Amino acid sequence: MTRHLDLGCGPVPRNPYRREELFGVDLSVSTDGGPIRRANLVMQPIPFADHSFNSVSAYDFLEHVPRVMPTADGRGTRFPFIELMNEIWRVLKPGGLLYAVTPVYPHPAVFQDPTHVNVLTADSHVYFTRPLRTATMYGYTGDFVVRRVELTRHHAGAEYTPPPANAWQRLRLAHRIRRGACGHVIWEFEALAADTPAA
């Protein structure tokens, strides 16, 4: 049975890969262990066991996760966004997929919402993916390879935006990017097993 987890899902989780079982995590739902579990992912781990899911999604969620916070005792520093990326990798099975859509700089959508605290760019993925995995210097332990990083227009109801299938679609996308109409980025990553050797 294939399983999907939607982070920051609200009352209705999304299922971009059409998995057989669907689960969610959000701040404002019950804690009864049902398909949607309550957790503050800035402060708490994802409330599921290691390697529980074939895929994880995050729609307009990553921008709400702070980059830096003080520790509870005020004497140190935490990196909640890096911790969340570790958690996503932890709950994915090897070969599992992350599908995230988030606004990116310099589009106004990054700054309009006062709860956006994590400004990403089209190149932020290099901190979490091979070959660089630059965030390891900050405690990142996950390991992903890029399947796709692509600027896109925001479609609030869309569960999955396929990559451009032909030259005409690629040309239209390039034109939208030049006009500044693509204010979001799609991250589609594949989780690697912990012992996968470097290429």
The span from the CA of 9 to the CA of 37, in Å, is: 10
Query: What is the predicted pLDDT for the residue at 31?
Result: 53
State yes or no: pLDDT of 194 exceeds 80: yes
**What value does the mean pLDDT take over residues 20-24?**
97
Task: State the residue for tokens 């594949």.
Answer: 190
The span from the CA of 16 to the CA of 149, in Å, is: 16
**What value does the mean pLDDT take over residues 5-20?**
95
| Contact status, residue 135 vs residue 124, Cβ threshold 8 Å | no
State yes or no: pLDDT of 34 exceeds 80: no
Give the DSSP letter of residue 159: S
Q: pLDDT tens across 57-111, in order?
A: 999 999 999 999 999 999 999 999 999 999 999 999 999 999 999 999 999 989 9
Query: What is the predicted pLDDT for the residue at 162?
Result: 86
Query: What is the predicted pLDDT for the residue at 77?
Result: 96
Query: What is the predicted pLDDT for the residue at 32?
Result: 59
Burial annotation 87-126 (CB, 10 A radius, 16+ → b, else e): bbbbbbbeebbbbbbbbbeebebbeeeeebbbebeeebbe
> Residue 178 is inside which H or E element, if any?
helix 167-179
Residue-range domains of the chain with CATH: 3-191 (3.40.50.150)
What are phi and psi for residue 192, nearest 5 degrees?
-100, 150
> Which pTM value belongs to this model?
0.94
Contacts of 107 (CB under 8 A, 6+ apart): 180, 182, 183, 184
Query: What is the predicted pLDDT for the residue at 171?
Result: 84
> CA distances (Å), 39 to each of 32, 62, 71, in order?
12, 15, 18
Q: pLDDT tens across 116-163, in order?
A: 999 999 999 999 999 999 999 999 999 999 999 999 987 777 888 888
State yes or no: pLDDT of 174 exceeds 90: no
